[in-house]
């Protein structure tokens, strides 16, 4: 069996293949046992691939946990210059978050045409790829929870209760101004992605990440695909040696 792990800044997602059908799970990175759903499978795992953007201390803790449970080498998959006809625009690919590269790889393998991939997680990343598999570049923005936390911590006098509502009309209380303002910002992001998709002639928009449904509800015309980073890792695993 192969264990695939997407370790983000706040959440960890995993997929176990070779079980007759993928077994999947997720947990908060800070949990003492974020892989508890794998109990009973550890002895059957013969390969582990990890895509991570977590801090080095969090990565080290995860590494020790994996070695203690599975007792097989842990393979870290980072951004690359090229794979399967997909090419990276970064001069120094080590500076690109692994999750962005693996989500792009999943999108490229899926369509082999031009596309955008939007990963709405702790940060929102947007990347564009042309029909030849060339990464055109992208954007990194603060995610919803990060923006809420910034307003609570860095603007102490702005007291508000967070809400998941999607109203973007002008607010008439501090709480409405914050929550409607975040929806308003997201709508502007959606409009910009649509504009760029048309300008660059992109044939598809793929949307993944914890806040994917929120972006879709606010108008982003995209195919929601859960676990694109894991899909990219699975493609790498299928190729054999890294």
Catalytic hit among 6, 84, 92, 99: 99
3-state SS track over the chain:
CEEEEEECCCEEEEEEECCCCCEEEEEECCCCCCCHHHCCCHHHCCEEEEEECCCHHHHHHHHHHHHHHHCCCEEECCCCCEECCEECCCCCHHHCCHHHHHHHHHHHHHHCCCEEEEEECCEEEEEEECCCCEEEEEEEEECHHHHHHHHHHHCCCCCCCCCCCCCCCCCCCHHHHHHHHHHHHHHHHHHHHHHHHHHCCCCCEEEECCCHHHHHHCCCCCEECCCHHHHHHHHHHHCCCC
Q: Is 99 among the residues known to form the active site?
A: yes
Active site residues: 99
């Amino acid at each position: 069996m192969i264990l695939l792990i997407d370790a983000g800044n706040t959440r960890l997602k995993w997929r176990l293949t070779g079980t007759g059908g993928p077994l999947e799970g997720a947990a908060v990175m800070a949990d003492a046992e974020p892989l508890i759903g794998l109990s009973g499978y550890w002895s059957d795992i013969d390969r582990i691939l990890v895509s991570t953007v977590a801090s080095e201390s969090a990565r080290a803790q995860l590494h020790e946990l994996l070695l203690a449970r599975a007792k097989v080498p842990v393979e870290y998959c980072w951004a690359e210059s090229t794979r399967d006809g997909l090419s990276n625009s970064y001069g120094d690919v080590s500076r690109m978050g692994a999750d962005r590269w693996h989500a792009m790889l999943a999108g490229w393998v899926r369509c082999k045409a031009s596309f955008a991939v939007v990963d709405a997680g702790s940060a929102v990343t947007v990347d564009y790829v042309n029909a030849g598999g060339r990464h055109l570049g992208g954007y990194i923005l603060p995610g919803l929870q990060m923006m809420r936390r910034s307003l609570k911590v860095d603007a102490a006098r702005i007291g508000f209760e967070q809400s998941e509502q999607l109203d973007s009309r002008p607010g008439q209380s501090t709480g409405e101004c914050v929550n409607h303002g975040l929806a308003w910002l997201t709508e502007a992001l959606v409009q910009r992605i649509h504009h760029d998709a048309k300008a660059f002639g992109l044939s598809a928009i793929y949307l993944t990440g914890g806040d994917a449904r929120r972006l879709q509800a606010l108008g982003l015309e995209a195919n929601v695909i859960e676990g694109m980073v894991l899909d990219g890792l699975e493609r790498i695993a299928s190729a054999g040696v890294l």
